């Protein structure tokens, strides 16, 4: 028994000595890499731009990895490279992307310096949605081309900014009916327009006429094939949950009946038939305020291409 204890003691000392001689991971030798924060294929979805406003600002953030900040300045050059669109589509062929028109964004190939003792640098990028055809998909691939003072990340050196088009996106003539009216109704003849803004290839959103036109519909559908030969089905519609909680419920207004397409019939629609449905049937929901004497309102929004 004593021999066994002595032997175990010797092994313990020996193993401890080995660990002290050479760590399992030598962090001091890990190389510093320059990368674009939240970039590459793992973050492709996050680089999708769905903001509804015309002028959209983004910040391309550069980072230097490593256990410690760099002890000398690191220079990083970022450039636009539209050849990456074809390279991306070669492995992801679901959505065909176009290069963004030069008047639809502001970005200049640029070199930034990440100062010694720091890790980050920012490059502004601006997009102009009104310069894009909302039915088409666009990409602005920005990549790190050269790095001085560190190595370039192999997996996180490309930011795939992109807009996804939607067959139904675009500007529509618009009319709104509220029953009882309350003086807010308007017809196509009034010249009002509204825009179907794409959130994805099979979802768009558009504001309705009720409550100062701040309540948005979100419309989802399934699509088979490509325009103009595509068919569309399984249309579903909801009022944006944020608008319900912040605007309607925030003003003591309850939704009595959920949003729907008026007299919707499930089938495969052609593009023309879907447009006719938006125009001739429209989107609807009912609301009721909690104030004494409040009257239920039946809202219908119709949109004509």
pLDDT in tens, 263-299: 999 999 999 999 999 999 999 999 999 999 899 999 9
pLDDT value at residue 9: 47
Measure the CA–CA gap between 139 and 25, rounded to whole angstroms: 40
The parts of the chain modelled with pLDDT lower than 50 are 1-29
- Please state the φ and ψ torsions of residue 30, each to the nearest 5 degrees: -70, 130
SS3 98: strand
Domains located in the chain, CATH noted: 30-163 (2.60.40.1740), 170-304 (no CATH)
What single string gives the DSSP state of each residue in 226-262? -TTS-EEEEEEEEE-HHHIIIIIGGGTEEEEEEEEET
- 123 and 110 Cβ atoms separated by less than 8 Å: yes
Q: What is the pTM of this model?
A: 0.70
Q: In degrees, to the nearest 5, what angle opens at C-alpha 96 toward C-alphas 92 and 98?
A: 120
Measure the CA–CA gap between 239 and 256, rounded to whole angstroms: 12
SS3 68: coil
Sorted by sequence, the CB contacts under 8 Å of residue 266 that are 6+ apart come out as 233, 234
pLDDT value at residue 190: 95
What region, left, alpha or beta, does residue 213 occupy, with left being phi > 0 and alpha being psi -120 to 50 degrees? left
The number of beta carbons lying within 10 Å of the beta carbon of residue 193 is 11
pLDDT value at residue 127: 98
How many residues would you count in the chain? 305
What distances in angstroms separate CA 102 from CA 89, 93, 105, 106, 270, one per listed residue?
A: 21, 24, 6, 8, 34
3-state helix, strand, coil in the chain (%, to 5): 25, 40, 35
Q: In degrees, to the nearest 5, what angle opens at C-alpha 168 toward C-alphas 165 and 169?
A: 55
Q: What is the Rg, in whole angstroms, of the alpha carbon atoms belonging to the chain?
A: 28
pLDDT value at residue 184: 85
pLDDT value at residue 30: 63
Q: In what order do the strands lie in the sheet with 203-207?
A: 231-239, 216-224, 203-207, 193-200, 170-179, 297-304, 283-289, 253-261
Kindly provide the b/e burial profile for residues 205-226, where b requires at least 16 CB atoms within 10 angstroms of the residue's own CB. bbbbbbbeeebbbbbebebeee
């Amino acid at each position: 028994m004593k021999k066994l204890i002595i032997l175990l003691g010797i092994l313990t000392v020996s193993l401890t000595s080995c660990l002290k001689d050479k760590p399992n991971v030598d962090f001091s030798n890990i190389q510093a890499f320059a990368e674009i924060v939240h970039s590459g294929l793992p973050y492709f979805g996050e680089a999708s731009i769905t903001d509804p406003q015309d002028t959209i600002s983004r910040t391309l953030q550069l980072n230097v990895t490593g256990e410690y900040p760099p002890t000398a300045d690191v220079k990083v050059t970022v450039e636009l490279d539209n050849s990456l669109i074809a390279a991306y589509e070669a492995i992801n062929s679901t959505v065909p992307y176009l290069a963004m028109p030069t008047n639809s964004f502001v970005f200049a190939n640029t070199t930034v310096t990440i100062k010694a003792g720091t890790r980050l640098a920012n490059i502004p990028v601006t997009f102009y949605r009104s310069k894009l055809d909302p039915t088409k998909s666009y990409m602005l691939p920005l990549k790190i081309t050269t790095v001085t003072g560190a190595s370039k990340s192999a997996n996180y050196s490309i930011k795939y900014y992109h807009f996804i088009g939607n067959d139904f996106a675009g500007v529509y003539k618009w009319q709104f009916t509220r029953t009882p009216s309350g003086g807010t109704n308007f017809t196509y003849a009034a010249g009002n327009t509204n825009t179907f803004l794409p959130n994805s290839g099979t979802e768009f959103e558009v504001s309705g006429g009720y409550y100062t036109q701040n309540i948005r519909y979100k419309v989802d559908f399934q699509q088979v094939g490509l325009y103009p030969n595509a068919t569309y089905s399984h249309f579903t519609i909801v009022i944006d949950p944020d608008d319900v909680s912040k605007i309607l419920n925030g003003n003591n207004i309850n939704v009595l009946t959920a949003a729907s397409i008026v007299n919707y019939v499930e089938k495969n629609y052609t593009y023309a038939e879907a447009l006719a449905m938006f125009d001739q049937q429209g989107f609807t929901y009912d609301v009721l305020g909690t104030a004494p004497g409040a009257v239920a309102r039946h809202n219908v929004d119709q949109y004509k291409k």
